[in-house]
Structure 1
């Protein structure tokens, strides 16, 4: 038994994460166009026929702009909270819109998706853990600070998409106006490399096989810098930087064998 995961795109220009098994899959967010989603999945050998639902973390455009076309074309249910739906400013019609509640698992075939609240400057933001039997994959992006919910679920995961949005020195020296810098690092914006690494180093379970560093800033981070930083502390976990321009490889996530 295993889960297959990939980042189809990750960054302020669009976010979309694929998690599935041999029979069914879900997308967490759909912030790139339907056409790009299809192209990238085809290049990876993944079929849209396996995708059974889209889960929306929050209403910012880089997480939802591809939803209406994708959901209508493939008649996919969109799981979204009422407050996020209200603030989305998109025309959500001609497909099924399903509410979800924090901490209440949603069953999509043999996949179980559990949402929990996170700290972000959106109406009703959530992160997700997708489980298949004992295998768990977390999507932890757009997080202003690693709250107790994040820590609790992070420790359960065999693989994670973990935000490492900005390097603090690059942000300080960068061209962003003061108000935007304050928003990014103000506790309801994004995780810095340092914050993400502290979470990883302190709470990574021994069985975590992959970490996909996600939602990197184009202007305030450096893929080589953050990969080197995490690799130093990886202790056997494979470190991948999710691109804002293309899909990652597909990674197979499984439970380690228990020796009796």
Structure 2
């Protein structure tokens, strides 16, 4: 038994993450177009008819841009809080809308999806843990600061999508106006590379096989730099940067992890080790 995971896109231009088994899958967020979602899944050999639901983390456009078309075309249920739907100005078929409560597991076939709150400047932001037969995958992006909720869930993950949005020096010296810099690093914006690394070093479980660094800033980060930052601490965990331009490979996650020999390589145009 294993779970398949991939990032279809990750960044301020759109976020969409796929987690599934051989029979069913869920999408966490739908921030790229329906057409692009279909294209990327097809290139990876993934089937849309396996996707049984979409879960929405918050209302920012890079997480919901493709949602209405995707849900309507495939009659997909959308799990979303009432306030997130309202503040996102979403026009969804009422038959497809499902509400969820934090810490209340939702069964999608053999998958179980649990939401929990996070620090972000949205109305009701949520992170997600997806599990099946003791395999646990976390989706932890758009987080202003690590909290007890995040730490507790990260400690249980066999694999995780973890935000590493910006390098502190690049943000400080960059072209962004002061108010935007303040928003990004102000505790309800995004995790820096250093914050992500400290979480990884302090709380990574010994069985974590894959870490996908996610939501990297185009202007305030560099994939090679963040990988070099994580490299001395990766141990037996494979660390991958989730691209803002293309899908990653599909990774198979099990709870009987046999680590590969550490190496450095390009994965779909990205460094991986």
Interval of TM-score (by shorter of Structure 1 and Structure 2): over 0.9
Residue aligning to 1:152: 152
Checking the alignment, whether the CA contact within 8 Å between 1:163 and 1:215 is kept in structure 2 is: yes
Residue aligning to 1:3: 3
Residue aligning to 2:176: 176
**Larger CA deviation: 152-161 vs 87-96:** 87-96
Structure 1 regions of 5+ residues with no counterpart? none
1:79 aligns with 2:79: yes
Structure 2 regions of 5+ residues with no counterpart? 259-273
**Larger CA deviation: 90-99 vs 229-238:** 90-99
CA distance in 2, matches of 1:93, 1:119: 29
Residue aligning to 1:221: 221
Following superposition, the deviation at residue 168 of structure 1 comes to: 0.1
The CA deviation string for residues 182-231 of structure 1, in whole angstroms up to 9 with x for no partner, is: 00000000000000000000000000000000000000000000011112
How many residues are matched? 258
CA distance in 2, matches of 1:121, 1:242: 23
Checking the alignment, whether the CA contact within 8 Å between 1:157 and 1:208 is kept in structure 2 is: yes
CA distance in 2, matches of 1:116, 1:257: 27
**1:56-135 map, 5 Å:** 56-93=56-93, 95-135=95-135
Q: Could you state the TM-score of these two structures normalised by the residue count of structure 1?
A: 0.98
The CA deviation string for residues 224-258 of structure 1, in whole angstroms up to 9 with x for no partner, is: 00011112111110000000000000000000279
CA distance in 2, matches of 1:95, 1:38: 23
CA distance in 2, matches of 1:116, 1:225: 30
**1:132-211 map, 5 Å:** 132-211=132-211
Measured at CA, do residues 75 and 180 of structure 1 come closer, stay the same or move farther in structure 2, by a change above 3 Å? same
Residue aligning to 1:256: 256
Checking the alignment, whether the CA contact within 8 Å between 1:72 and 1:94 is kept in structure 2 is: no
The CA deviation string for residues 14-48 of structure 1, in whole angstroms up to 9 with x for no partner, is: 00000000000000000000000000000000000
Q: CA RMSD in A?
A: 1.0
SS in 2 for 1:4: strand
Moved over 2 A (4+): none
Residue aligning to 1:49: 49
Following superposition, the deviation at residue 78 of structure 1 comes to: 0.1
SS in 2 for 1:41: helix
CA distance in 2, matches of 1:189, 1:93: 31
**Larger CA deviation: 215-224 vs 249-258:** 249-258
